[in-house]
Amino acid sequence: MNEYQQAALRTAAPRDKHNELFHLLLGLVGETGEIAEKAKKIVRDKGSDFANWDIEDLKKELGDTLWYLAVLADHFDIELEDVAKLNIAKLADRQQRAALGGSGDNR
């Protein structure tokens, strides 16, 4: 994960560029929105049959999302590997406590 993050940073704007944090946040939301929009069209036009999803296109959109996530994390000196490890530990804890369902951050 950290190797990917370092590679992604080679194509990122400098942290101190005017409005760069705002750019990264909007980019992350925009890319996830593109994924949601394509999913919506499968629901609307393909009877929710996700076997119709263009997997190569999905990979590209997920990659764009990952790029924004990696650069955004770096903006706050957070290593992407730490984000991934923390998330897996959180989910494993919730699973152990049978708290995967429901809502709220502090389950």
* Average pLDDT of the chain, as a whole number: 94
The answer to which of 15-19, 21-25, 32-36, 100-104 has the lowest mean pLDDT is: 100-104
pLDDT tens column, 25-76: 999 999 999 999 999 999 999 999 999 999 999 999 999 999 999 999 999 9
Better pLDDT: 38 or 102: 38
DSSP assignments along 4-48, one per residue: HHHHHHTTSPPTTSTTHHHHHHHHHHHHHHHHHHHHHHHHHHSTT
**Would you place residue 98 in the very low, low, confident or very high pLDDT band (cuts 50, 70, 90)?**
confident
Residue 72: count of CB within 10 angstroms of its CB: 20
